[in-house]
Amino acid sequence: MIRKLVWNDMTDAEKAWVHQRGTAADSADELQPAILALVDDVRNRGDAALLDALARFDGVDIDASGIRVSNDEFAHALESLDAEVHSAIKQMIANIRGFNEALLERRQSWTAEIAPGHTVGEKVGPVANAALFCPSGKASYPSVLAQVATPAVVAGVPQLSAIVPPVPGGGGRIDSAVLAVAHELGVRNVYRVNGPAGVAAAAFGTETIPAHGMIIGPGSPPVALAQLAVRAYGVDTVVLGPTESMVVADDSADPVWLAADLLNEAEHGTDSTVVLVTPHQWVIDAAAEEVERQAAMLPEVRREAAASALGVNGGAILVSSFDEAIDVANWFAAEHLQLAVSDPWAVADGVEHAGELLLGQDTPFSVGNFTLGGPAALPTGGWANRTGGITVEQFLKSGAIGHLTPDALRSVAASTIALSDHEGFDAHGNAIRIRNVSDTN
């Protein structure tokens, strides 16, 4: 099931295939025209287009009154939800809240006097509104809604909506666990929509769904294309692709645990990518054998996903040294990176690019996905080398603050006039001259 590769023997094309996440990088040229047409349809026809999309793509026939999830549906979801799952949801949200509240304490408004009488700073506050996308196509993902909604709630965003496709084959039902997450976070506006159509509705607004300036949440390639399409209309979107993970292992790694963690992310879908990097051939061989054994116990759909993630898109890469393993990890810039090594804290210093860094085999990907508290909605496709995961910071904006005393204004007057004159803006310079604060008046 695991494709075995040797880093120094790999061709440029083989390295490019791994770096672009294999089949996850397939061209969207054939899909894009249909998504653009759907986005335009929602922009032009509103609720009517939403209902048509639900019927056509999700097999759900409702009228406009059924787009917004009702209070009765919330009540039924909470009554029917397994108590253990509900308790787990509460712990998950509490840990995510704790992480983001700690982050918020470090991201407050501030001022500083950078010269006598010359004060600058920032006024930090929440964005005006946000739509939170929670996928449902391959499975139900209450954890995704918790990951994107909790930071928004901690930030204090005044208007939040959840955009949720119905459970496949569920007759329009929204998963009870997803509604429980929304309930725990006080998000009462949950909309039952087709994925790409819902993105368009959240961007432009319809008779039922208000327009939002921000849309955040991972989704399928059609959803990602819709998010990219609405950017052209000034909507802020964060596009997150198929999941991916990398494990860097030394000879202390337990192959049984290693295999379990490789399969953790590999089971997501055939477009996922999972990579093991190690300088030890025996680690690869032992992990590969154990992956075969554990994968055989998974449902067929999960086995097929794992075979693609580990055998087509990713694989196990043998490197010549541990330093080279870290170089490969930085080159790949994984969404999820686990250091299955004897001293992960020491190794972590060398990791520059990873959306999530999990230190040691006692910190598996599944904990990071659900209950660790840090972001699990993370940059994919190599974007971890330039950005991070979804946290409270995505839902904050800052406005610059400035204040000058008369003496401080006098200290910058000549430079302000010189730059104004150089750029040909007479009124800029006159705004200083009229105040009689410079020898150049």
Assess whether 300 carries a catalytic annotation: no
What are the beta bridge partners of residue 247?
A: 276, 338
Determine the angle formed by the axes of helices 255-266 and 300-308, rounding to 10 degrees. 100
CB 240 within 8 Å of CB 261: no
Query: Which is the catalytic residue, given 183, 212, 280, 336?
Result: 336
Query: Which is the catalytic residue, given 335, 353, 356, 393?
Result: 335
Amino acid residing at 116: P
Nearest residue to 365 (alpha-carbon basis) of 243, 219, 256: 243
> What is the 3-class SS of the chain, one letter each residue?
CCCEEEHHHCCHHHHHHHHCCHHHHCCCCCCHHHHHHHHHHHHHHCHHHHHHHHHHHHCCCCCHHHCECCHHHHHHHHHHCCHHHHHHHHHHHHHHHHHHHHHHHCCCCEEEEEECCEEEEEEEEECCEEEEECCCCCCCCHHHHHHHHHHHHHHCCCEEEEEECCCCCCCCCCCHHHHHHHHHHCCCCEEECCHHHHHHHHHHCCCCCCCCCEEECCCCHHHHHHHHHHHCCCCEEECCCCCEEEEEECCCCCHHHHHHHHHHHHCCCCCCEEEEEECCHHHHHHHHHHHHHHHCCCCHHHHHHHHHHHHHHCEEEECCCHHHHHHHHHHHCCCEEEEECCCHHHHHCCCCCCCEEEECCCCCHHHHHHCCCCCCCCCCCCHHHCCCCCCHHHHEEEEEEEEECHHHHHHHHHHHHHHHHHHCCHHHHHHHHCCCCCCCC
Assess whether 335 carries a catalytic annotation: yes
Residue 366 CA to residue 243 CA, distance in Å, equals 13
* Catalytic machinery residues: 335-336
